[in-house]
Structure 1
Amino acid sequence: MTEDLGALLRGLRDAADLTQEQVAERSGVSVRTIRRLESGRSANHRVGTVHLLADALGLREADRLRLATALSGPPGPPAAAAGGEAEARSAPAPAPVALPAPARSGRPAVPDALADAARELAREVRRRWRHEEAQRGVHDPFPLPVRWKPAPAALVDSAANVQRLGPGGTPRALDLDGDLRGTAEVYRRIPSGRLVVLGRAGSGKSVLTIRLVLDLLDLLDLLDLPPGTTAPQPRVPVVFSVGSWDPSTTALRDWMIGRLLRDHPHLARRGYAGATLAAALVDADLVLPVLDGFDEIAEGLRRDALDALNATAAPLVLTSRRDEYAEAVGAANAPLVWAAGIELTDLTPDDLADYLPRTTRTTRSTGAVASEAGPGTSTGPGPGPGTGTGATGSPWDGVLTALRTRRDPAHVRLAEVLTTPLMVILARTLYSEKPDRDPAELLDATRFPSVKSLDEHLLAGFVPTVYRRRAPERDAAGEQPRTAYADPERAAGWLGHLAHHLVRLDRERQDLAWWQLGDSLSRTTRTVAFVLATALSITLTDWLVGFLLTSLSVGELLLQGGLMGPAAGIGFGAVYAMADRSGGGAAFEPSRVRLTLRAARPHLGRSPLRTFASRFAHGLIGGTVMGVGCACALTVQRALVAGTPLTDPDVVGGTLINTLVLASVFGSSAGLAFGLTAAFEAPVDVTAAATPIGLLSSNRSTTCRQFLVLAPAFTLAIALGGHLIVDLLRNVMGPLNWGVRDSLFIGAVGGVGGAASYVLAFTAWGQWLVLARGWLPLTGRLPWNPAAFLDDAYRRGVLRQAGSVYQFRHLRLQHHLGRSYRERHRNFAPATFVPPSTDGM
């Protein structure tokens, strides 16, 4: 007979000598929920809630089984109609699992608006990483067996601290062994919710990270929590590439908020206590940081990073290479506090025997394999499941036999290389997916006399293999697509430039952001590019407007535009150079707002008055510089047409007056126009930046709307404001000429040309257009359509998507491509890195 759940739960609590309030504090379940369960007034039991209570009570397996039986009836085969839910509830009680609950376990329920934001974020995170996992081909034909063992004791905190026990508490043994099928269950066994994942380069840390995030989202049922629930809102696991974090200048909280705003622009809305949703989610402890790539932090900053992480108590997951993490632990004299640790283990020959033969899509003779592998290697499939491929065998059979026997040093070297998922995937791509390649060549001791030579061979062959020439398929409309990126050599050159672009003097970045591609050019080159681009926009605008609104001859019009454009271009270039030098280009990230005809909402950002003041100041500076340039250009034009010397006192006086008038008109008008555009800003949609291409498209639309708003606003402000300013100055400076035709001409040239120049020089999409789609392709460093190339590289498996940026699929591949590019371009000096600090040694 099944026990009553309420009575059983009440009896177990009494046996543990705990009050309802103490159980609530330990479990994170509200007292109200516990009372409803014990009184039998709750008919809609949540399995996760009962597991939390079981962990808080410290129940043994027998009592857990009693609790599971009371919850869902005696164990037995589930009814067919019950589906997966019935199966889950009828199974024996699982191993102890607990939502990670550190010192802040008793988190109160959050407002519905913030809970909705958490669920929305969870949906987006799940969608992205499911797509990424499918894009990687992780399940083709099945996931490689990524396994692990507990990390060395010197690299983890004590068991009592990991379990957050009080004085005198006796820690229980934590079972952290597992594989890729049980990532979330292993993590949920850690009471502190803090886990360090260690492994060699290419050992599968990224694959494990993705699987952990997806499993946590599935197990925690983040997407199905009813609004107004009294249970604590679970944390949303979010992957952060921690290599870009500088702990010496930015707090972890602020850096995480910035990453969330970049990858999820809809979180810029201000809907809770005046803070952005990103900040509110982080501050409410609703984000579980999965910090990927601790070893990618600059070497001199790792100790600071570990100290900053040790200053927090919140749950987190940290991945790193073992040696780099061990050095940071040694420098800090402490591991990550309250953190358990696991270390990924190597693949075995049996793992490869299961996997590699099933990756071959074509049937080939294995005779050549036997002759290359040596005596005894053509005996057919080795032991273990998956090695048999029928009568025809597999091209991998000889190699797999050599890996098991290791009769030759070449066999030992190859066995050492093929112990990580990265190298196995490279070998699979190079040989299983290319029918004219024989994997037996990997056993050639002459070609590959060392482990390093084998590594370099597999890395070097990856790009040519994935970019091998194929017969293009026609699309649904019957049109044959262009194959501009099918040339392996050109693709390798472009990818090499991108990998080199990520190298900085102090560190090697991993995020490949489309709005930062121009950073690969020197500051001088970028400034020259924007001078030319803005000069061209002003010149063309002057010619077009002059042809429509003035009676100047063709020669005078061409001369005027030819002078006005470069003068304004130099002005814009000077402003850009000052902004770039002061901000390093960081001010030109993609906008997180869109423009709409509706009034702005107060939760967008800073107060409307501060936003207007900031925009007015930017417009005032740019407009003033443009006015000075235009005044000088008009003086030169009139001097050339009339033949008057530039040193003539009348010319000098007229130039000073024009400078004052045009600088005042353009400066005030630009400030007013830019300030008022803030009234038309609204947050981007939730799907606006789901991918790098999505963010690019969204920012292009935003930039075009900015131009459509700024151009007429700037034109009217110049035309109408000019009359007002000239009338005011007449009282001081005497007669000034500002006719209607002149007003319209100057207003149109300044409005349209100035807005276009602003868009080109001071927006992320404008800089992408000028540099990534103009200058870099002209110099052969990128193709003419970089966005299509990046998306194509993603689909071929060279790149991966991480929110709104791309990353190379593997850091070792990025290193290889960058190094190869620098070797081909000797004018690039090798990157020099800051030596590690010797303080305290």
Structure 2
Amino acid sequence: MSRSRRRLMVTAAACLSLLGLGAVVVMVLVRLDLGEKLHLGDAAGVLLTTVALVVPLVLWLRRAWAAGPPEDVAEAKRVLAELVHDRWAEERAIRAQGAPAIPVPWHLTRRTAMMDHARLVADGDISGDAADDEWLAATFRALRRRRLVITGGAGTGKTTLAVRLLLLLIETRTSEEPVPVPVSLADWDVEVHPRLHDWLAERLRTDYGVARGRGKGADGADLLVRRGHVLPVLDGLDELPEAARPGVIAALNKTLAERDQVILTSRTDEYGDAVKKSGRVLKGAAVIAPKALDPKVAIGYLTDDLPPDRTPAWDRTLRAMENGEAPALAAATRTALGLWLVRTVYIERGADPTPLATVYAGDAAALRAHLLDELIPALLDRPPTRPSAGDPFRPHHTWDPVKVRRWLSLLARLSTAHGTREVAWWRVARQAATPPGRKRPAWPVQGWTISLTGILYGLPAALPPLATGHAPLGLALWFAYGLGTASMASDTPAFSRPTLADHLARLVREQIRPFRLAMLSIPGMGLPMGVVTGAVYGFWEGVGMAVMTTTGLWLTIAGPRPEESDEERPPRFTSALTPMAVWRANRALTGMRLVTGLLLGTTLALGAGWVLRQMGGEPGDRLRELGLGLLVGGMLATVTQRGRRAWAATVFTLPLLAATGRLPLRLMTFLDDMHKTGLLRAVGPLYQFRHAELHDHLARVSPDATRSAVS
């Protein structure tokens, strides 16, 4: 529909609405002038009808008369680049906490079977230092197709290098260059999204607040991705199931166009196996690998970070490391993670380093486990680098390291059991309450959660009848609406913060969906209503009712609706998604449902009284009230099955798990604090352990061993 035609239709609807409202106002004034009493139910009905008519009209007017041309592609890219940079610059700052960059050397892989022909990748060899910003960005831009695979073993700094590179590319980006966007490969199912572009566009909508248009056609997110305006930074090929990795390599080769750029991270062996099984290397991609840190470089890094008046114990430890008397320490500091662990556990805490060169001098595995064990109390004890109250580095609370270790171990085991290293808050409580070998939580927990969510969602619809003495109707609505909503609602959260206007529009459309066939002839609905009202109250009242009913139903069905998908209209990015933002959005959505449920319950209570009077019944006719309540409540329970209850289900399940010590009562506060301390990182709506080796270490530790090791 053209914009001019839409505006004409909206203007006509507005005029009809004003005529209908005017007729109602005249009716009220005439009745008052004649000395008649205006019944409270009639007044409330007029008010609710007016609101139900005006709200969709205003929403549609705002959409239909929205001024301004679609957003420019360059502007959309600029906004996206700012969101990505701000989000990941904060992640990098939380991770580093003021620590200098570790100078890990990188070079082209010597495994020629994992990389395309050298002449198709770059001119000359590639080697440099990860701490050299100029080399890193220049090397990537010098690649023939700007495709890079970062490989390496555990703890070699693959993800750190990828994040550093994407920040540099954004900071030095020209308007023609694509915007680097990091995404976790663990979320890509090539069976659902065979094309990289389709999956990446979906992640743009989810992670950066882009509203999906009506229909399933291409939209602005597809525009950016398919035209090469987005550079995907695909992290963690090795975190996919082994059988899925070759499919990702094959999908990339099939869907990447000549101009498409990509950055991929993976452990070396896993990437090599995936390439071998797929039968093809990633076309045109340079594959780089790290070199082990030289002991002299590691000693220099630790020395520079120590105070000038360092203790004699540090002198002895560094000498033992240099002379080969502490081989385990020398081996640990040959990787970026090991060097960072020594710095965090010992230098930042001011701890005595003697055990490094004595107790753990010759046992590399024991030293690694010791450093990982001490990492949690070390990070919890670390003071924030900024003193302000709004500091993103400052945790909300002080946590007991023993409990933190136990809870993180549980999260690691739960994610491992589901084949991932990701932590989704909307799945944690359900997974923790599910006995081993089962797919659903135990019945006591499941029944408790459904009952409480039913009370939460059903109470607003039941309050008005209960408050006016219609207890059977209120209880019937409470049971049917609440239990139906709780049992059939989705456990998947909404990944955007809905506005009140959008929520009201969606609610109205959901309520009328079952009656769509009956509304095919909208005037056929308004005319009988007008005739009946005119016969009972008078001509003008009938005209007003007919006009208001017709216009209101028409507006509800025809608008306001989400905009049509438009591939030529660049998306308007609003915010970078975080797990806390998803939590707050679903909390807000629950609040909106409660408010609208209260309004809906009020409407039902008033409507029930009016219907009973027209049927010749008395207010005390409980049987008819009960029947009407069950009918309407059952309908509502059916049409609200698309509602989301992830927030409510999590909140109501946590007290049971907290009582047994399995999870903290304030789960999101805990996860957010672990993110701020550097133990977790936020990737879109999910949390991940910042170090895969820490995740694997915690997943292998039993709760009893965890308790004894920390204490």
Report if aligned partners of 1:295, 1:320 keep a CA contact under 8 Å in 2: yes
653, 670, 677: which one aligns with 1:771: 653
CA RMSD of aligned residues (A): 4.6
Shift, 1:785, TM fit: 1.8
Give the TM-score, by structure 1 length. 0.60
Tell me: CA distance 1:720–1:528, structure 2 relative to 1, closer, same or farther (3 Å): same
Shift, 1:414, TM fit: 2.0
Tell me: CA distance 1:176–1:596, structure 2 relative to 1, closer, same or farther (3 Å): same
- Is residue 2:193 matched to residue 1:240? no
Shift, 1:111, TM fit: 8.4
- Is residue 2:103 matched to residue 1:145? yes
Q: 2: distance between equivalents of 1:201 and 1:415? A: 16
- Shifted more, 525-534 versus 238-247: the winner is 525-534
Report if aligned partners of 2:201, 2:221 keep a CA contact under 8 Å in 1: yes
1:355-410: CA deviation from partner (whole Å, max 9, x where unpaired): 213334695531xx3xxxxxxxxxxxxxxxxxxxxxxxxx2x3222222221x4xx
Q: Which runs of 5+ in 1 are unaligned?
A: 1-109, 164-171, 226-232, 370-394, 580-584, 601-607, 621-671, 827-841
504, 513, 516: which one aligns with 1:616: 513
Structure 2 partner of 1:550: 469
Structure 2 partner of 1:528: 447
Tell me: CA distance 1:538–1:237, structure 2 relative to 1, closer, same or farther (3 Å): closer
Shift, 1:448, TM fit: 6.3
How many residue pairs were aligned?
A: 576
Structure 1 partner of 2:501: 596
315, 330, 333: which one aligns with 1:418: 333
Report if aligned partners of 2:421, 2:688 keep a CA contact under 8 Å in 1: no
Structure of greater Rg: 1
Q: 2: distance between equivalents of 1:245 and 1:618? A: 38
Q: 2: distance between equivalents of 1:740 and 1:820? A: 64
Structure 2 partner of 1:38: none
221, 226, 229: which one aligns with 1:278: 221
489, 509, 532: which one aligns with 2:421: 509
284, 308, 317: which one aligns with 1:338: 284
Shift, 1:704, TM fit: 1.9
Structure 2 partner of 1:290: 233
1:447-467: CA deviation from partner (whole Å, max 9, x where unpaired): 565322111111111112222
Q: 1: distance between equivalents of 2:640 and 2:652? A: 12
Q: 2: distance between equivalents of 1:189 and 1:754? A: 61
114, 120, 125: which one aligns with 2:73: 114
Q: 2: distance between equivalents of 1:199 and 1:474? A: 37
Shift, 1:282, TM fit: 1.2
Report if aligned partners of 2:379, 2:677 keep a CA contact under 8 Å in 1: yes
Structure 2 partner of 1:440: 354
Structure 2 partner of 1:380: none
Tell me: CA distance 1:412–1:801, structure 2 relative to 1, closer, same or farther (3 Å): same
Tell me: CA distance 1:207–1:343, structure 2 relative to 1, closer, same or farther (3 Å): same
Report if aligned partners of 1:162, 1:338 keep a CA contact under 8 Å in 2: yes
Shift, 1:321, TM fit: 0.7
Shift, 1:242, TM fit: 0.8
Structure 1 partner of 2:20: none
Report if aligned partners of 2:156, 2:335 keep a CA contact under 8 Å in 1: yes
Report if aligned partners of 1:715, 1:748 keep a CA contact under 8 Å in 2: no
- Shifted more, 290-299 versus 324-333: the winner is 324-333
195, 201, 211: which one aligns with 2:148: 195
Report if aligned partners of 1:531, 1:572 keep a CA contact under 8 Å in 2: no
SS at match of 1:319: strand
> Match for 2:267: what amino acid?
R
Shift, 1:743, TM fit: 5.9
Structure with more relative contact order (C-alpha pairs < 8 Å, separation 6 or more): 2
1:154-200: CA deviation from partner (whole Å, max 9, x where unpaired): 2100134336xxxxxxxx43545443322111111111111111111
Shift, 1:149, TM fit: 0.9
Tell me: CA distance 1:789–1:685, structure 2 relative to 1, closer, same or farther (3 Å): farther
Q: 1: distance between equivalents of 2:594 and 2:635? A: 10
121, 126, 138: which one aligns with 2:85: 126
Report if aligned partners of 1:206, 1:292 keep a CA contact under 8 Å in 2: yes
Q: 1: distance between equivalents of 2:610 and 2:627? A: 13
Tell me: CA distance 1:572–1:401, structure 2 relative to 1, closer, same or farther (3 Å): same
Shift, 1:120, TM fit: 0.9
Report if aligned partners of 1:414, 1:451 keep a CA contact under 8 Å in 2: yes
Tell me: CA distance 1:743–1:238, structure 2 relative to 1, closer, same or farther (3 Å): same
Q: Which runs of 5+ in 2 are unaligned?
A: 1-68, 435-439, 518-552, 565-570
Shift, 1:678, TM fit: 8.6
SS at match of 1:220: coil
Shift, 1:338, TM fit: 1.4
Structure 2 partner of 1:707: 594
| Aligned pairs for 1:208-227 within 5 A | 208-221=161-174, 225=175
Structure 1 partner of 2:130: 179
Structure 1 partner of 2:36: none
Tell me: CA distance 1:282–1:726, structure 2 relative to 1, closer, same or farther (3 Å): farther
Shift, 1:571, TM fit: 4.2
> Match for 1:500: what amino acid?
R
Give the TM-score, by structure 2 length. 0.70
Structure 1 partner of 2:316: 398
Identity %, equivalent residues: 30
Report if aligned partners of 1:596, 1:680 keep a CA contact under 8 Å in 2: no
Shift, 1:767, TM fit: 3.0
Structure 2 partner of 1:632: none
Q: 1: distance between equivalents of 2:428 and 2:503? A: 34
Shift, 1:417, TM fit: 1.4
254, 267, 272: which one aligns with 1:326: 272
Tell me: CA distance 1:540–1:361, structure 2 relative to 1, closer, same or farther (3 Å): farther
Report if aligned partners of 1:239, 1:292 keep a CA contact under 8 Å in 2: yes
